[in-house]
């Protein structure tokens, strides 16, 4: 008797493929929409775009989608792109919006060295915007629903929690105010950016690079641990509160309402598969 042939299972799409396909489809729709009404005047939208020349044509539409989706959910925000060189694709995108969309060129950024982005954010982020708050997004971390206004008065930094931890871990984090958070989609106050930049430029910029100096960890984990002044002055949410702002699939999703945004393709795919993204 011949063996029965097994039915060929459909190929399972990776999270990156799902997000890429969704972005391309949504970008076509977003480009047809009128410019939304202005969003909160106290917030600047900021994105780093540091890619090799060979990748720019394919990579920028992904970031453009993230920006347009942010505008769609938050209103038209003053927007800053930070790149390592003049990028025609960004210039073309920005042209219709006049001074509201700005390209800042920083030659020290290097596509082959991701740490240069972190170093720039540590050293100069507060110089790149003039509003009381800055919202950072990237191509795999952006808002999926309205609600930015509910986060504008509470904290100096909010992003997806990186480690929920156990009870004892959460207890220690609460005491030392070291709630490490993702920087992909994150909202920061100007005073936090100024304080972090001051600490970096006076104490750390000349030292060998270390993981704790990634710009999000430097602000939410390293500085609160080593500086009592910084720790007592800055306000950070506990993980369950931060998860309302953004989710990154590091811990289990809780609740029925979607977060304000997401960080990472795995989080996006889960939210899409479970009906949290319309």
**What's the pLDDT at 234?**
94
pLDDT at 17: 96
CATH of domain 16-273: 3.90.550.10
The encoded tokens of residue 277 equal 């993204």
Q: Residue 163 has what pLDDT?
A: 75
Residue in 33, 43, 13 with CA at minimum distance from that of residue 148: 43
* Contact status, residue 197 vs residue 120, Cβ threshold 8 Å: no
pLDDT at site 213:
92
User: Given a cut of 90, is residue 26 above it in pLDDT?
Assistant: yes
Q: In the prediction, which pLDDT does 256 show?
A: 80
Q: Report the C-alpha gap between 174 and 223 in whole angstroms.
A: 14
Closest CA to 85 of 48, 131, 127, 114: 48
Can you list the alpha helix ranges (DSSP code H) found in the chain?
Answer: 15-32, 56-74, 88-94, 115-124, 167-176, 190-199, 215-217, 223-226, 228-233, 239-245, 265-273
Confidence of residue 178 (pLDDT cuts 50, 70, 90): confident
What's the confidence (pLDDT) of residue 240? 85
pLDDT per position as a tens digit, 88-118 = 999 999 999 999 999 999 999 999 999 999 9
- Predicted TM-score (pTM) of this structure: 0.92
């Amino acid at each position: 008797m011949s063996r029965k042939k097994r039915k060929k299972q459909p190929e399972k799409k990776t999270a990156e493929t799902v997000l890429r396909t969704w972005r391309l489809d949504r970008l076509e729709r977003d480009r047809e929409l009128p410019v939304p009404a202005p969003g909160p005047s106290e917030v600047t939208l900021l994105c780093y775009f540091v890619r090799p020349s060979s990748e720019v044509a394919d990579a920028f539409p992904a970031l453009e989608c993230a920006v347009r989706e942010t505008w769609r959910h938050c209103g038209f925000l003053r927007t800053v792109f930070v790149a390592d060189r003049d990028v025609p694709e960004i210039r073309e995108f920005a042209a219709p919006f006049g001074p509201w969309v700005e390209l800042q060129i920083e030659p020290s950024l290097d596509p082959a060295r991701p740490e240069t982005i972190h170093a720039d954010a540590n050293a100069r982020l507060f110089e790149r915007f003039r509003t009381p708050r800055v919202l950072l997004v990237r191509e795999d971390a952006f808002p999926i629903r309205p609600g930015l206004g509910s986060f504008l008065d509470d904290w100096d930094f909010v992003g997806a929690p990186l480690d929920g931890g156990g009870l004892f871990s959460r207890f220690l984090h609460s005491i030392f105010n070291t709630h490490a958070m993702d920087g992909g989609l994150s909202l920061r106050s100007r005073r936090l950016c100024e304080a972090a930049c001051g600490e970096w430029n006076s104490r750390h910029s000349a030292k060998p690079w270390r993981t704790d100096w990634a710009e999000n960890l430097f602000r939410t984990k390293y500085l609160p641990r080593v500086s009592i002044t910084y720790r007592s002055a800055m306000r950070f949410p506990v993980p369950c509160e931060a998860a309302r702002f953004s989710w990154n699939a590091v811990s289990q999703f809780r609740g029925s309402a979607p977060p304000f945004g997401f960080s990472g393709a795995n989080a996006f795919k889960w939210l899409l598969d479970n009906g949290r993204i319309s």
